[in-house]
Structure 1
């Protein structure tokens, strides 16, 4: 059975985001033998994790790619499965960031409203692993110019991981396409 790779988008994003589409095209072009999927995640953290687990099933030969809040969710799953995860400007302690964004929002791609509630913030706080059990299972792609998340939090939390920090950039990760082969290699797809 082929390895499974799952892409997890960030907050208020979707499988139709630029990074998700670049990743999907890259895997379709270069790794057709890989069981690849980019999921559209629910906004409730517990529901998002349940969908990811349902999609993975009983598989253990999994690698995750997570961007921003998707990086947080990938961390939660990777800690449970002891699998590899590539994280792009991941959210660390996302409850502290999203706590400032309570309210109702509209997602133009998915064409639906969603709410950020105190209950979701509490879920995120409860879900955050206190400490990584196998930091060597993580590849972090960070840019110091991230205007949404403080990259230094990731440097501290993911100590022991393989970290590629580039100066400048932004939260979307400027030059992401050039990192896709590095991500594939870290996922051990050969």
Structure 2
């Protein structure tokens, strides 16, 4: 059975994000089942959709809010995951965005409300019981998230910290070899 590689996009993003598409181009050279689900803004629906894709031979790659979801799945199901400029506490970050929102990548309007914040808080993993399953890719120039939060939270995990960059993770292609190696993609 081929390894399943699931890419988890971030908040207000889609399955067409740059990193999802570029990583898919790389995965075309491997014998893997590459999945990039287009996730709903509702955290519980997103997690359910992701859980339905899990197989015994799954690995994860998550960016921003997708990194938060990947951490949850990694620690609950003991799955290797690479997290890219991950949101550590999205329930605090998204509070200022409560109300009407628009996802330009999926072209739909929705309301972000306190139940979404509560759902994210319920998904938070306070104690990384399997830090060896996580690999942090972090750039210090992230203008959306405080990079130090991720460096501290994932302190027991493998880390690649790059100075500069931004939230999109500039030079993402340069991390491909280390991602493939960590996730044991052959």
Task: Give unpaired runs (5+ residues) of structure 2.
Answer: none
Q: Confirm or deny: 8 A CA contact 2:12 2:104 kept in the other structure.
A: no
Pairing 1:168–2:164 present: yes
Which residue is equivalent to 2:129?
133
TM superposition shift of 1:37 = 0.7
Paired residues, number:
186
Q: Confirm or deny: 8 A CA contact 2:72 2:123 kept in the other structure.
A: yes
Q: In structure 2, which of residues 17, 40, 65 is the aligned counterpart of residue 42 of structure 1? A: 40
Aligned structure 1 segments of 4 or more residues deviating by more than 4 angstroms: none
Q: Confirm or deny: 8 A CA contact 1:5 1:35 kept in the other structure.
A: yes
TM superposition shift of 1:148 = 0.6
Q: In structure 2, which of residues 62, 65, 71 is the aligned counterpart of residue 69 of structure 1? A: 65
Which residue is equivalent to 2:78?
82
Q: Confirm or deny: 8 A CA contact 1:86 1:139 kept in the other structure.
A: yes
Cα distance between partner residues in 2 of 1:125 and 1:55: 23
Task: Give unpaired runs (5+ residues) of structure 1.
Answer: none
Which residue is equivalent to 2:153?
157
Pairing 1:115–2:117 present: no
Which residue is equivalent to 1:184?
180
Cα distance between partner residues in 2 of 1:118 and 1:144: 30
- TM-score norm. by structure 2 comes to 0.97
TM superposition shift of 1:44 = 0.6
Q: Alignment RMSD, CA only?
A: 1.0
TM superposition shift of 1:43 = 0.7
Cα distance between partner residues in 2 of 1:91 and 1:143: 13
